[in-house]
Structure 1
């Protein structure tokens, strides 16, 4: 826990005084004795996880190609390409099986 000097706004340091610990400022003569345990915790609010591929709407207007599904051996699959790494790396191709009962997704 950081404490700041009310006079000059610098960070207060913890030092051992004559009979207790105290907060002291390095730039001005401000001193505050610590006579009880001081602690606080703040937990940051976590962000919601976004769907990297854009959710179910991402597969609405994609093309299909001749690619064999590794799960059901169907010969057609939808595909889309996304740049997931740096610009000098090739794009990642994502596939989704065209068979209505399968719908298996994989990447290349």
Structure 2
């Protein structure tokens, strides 16, 4: 991106026509800058996915605080560990994530 040195507006690109070179021009004032070399416009940019580490490790989930008042919706077991995270805006309540303590189940669910 280039900006006009006189008025500060964003310069617009104009393709070369016949014998003239491509140029950058200001839409509000008479400033024009001709480009002598070829301009290469790239439209694709590959994004690289970063490897993300979990916030809570598997050990943190198993050794977290326990509750007896919650029933697992998958197996019906009555004990689970939990942790709370603020994933929405500050005026919304925290989300509670539960992990079933049944060794055969081990499912995770969320209550908002």
TM-score, normalized by length of structure 1? 0.65
Match of 1:68 among 59, 66, 71: 71
CA–CA distance in 1 between the matches of 2:89 and 2:16? 52
| Structure with the largest fraction of strand | 1
Unaligned runs of 5+ in 1: none
Q: Decide whether the 8 Å contact of 2:62 with 2:81 is kept in 1.
A: no
Unaligned runs of 5+ in 2: none
1:26-45 paired onto structure 2 within 5 Å: 26=26, 30-32=33-35, 38-41=40-43, 43=45, 45=47
Count of residues in correspondence between the two structures: 102
- Residue 14 of structure 1 pairs with residue 14 of structure 2: yes
Moved over 4 A (4+): 15-18, 25-29
TM-score, normalized by length of structure 2? 0.64
Q: Give per-residue Cα distances to partners, 1:12-61, cap 9 Å, x unaligned.
A: 63166564552144465642367x68333452543425356434243143
> Comparing 62-71 with 49-58, which one deviates more in the overlay?
49-58
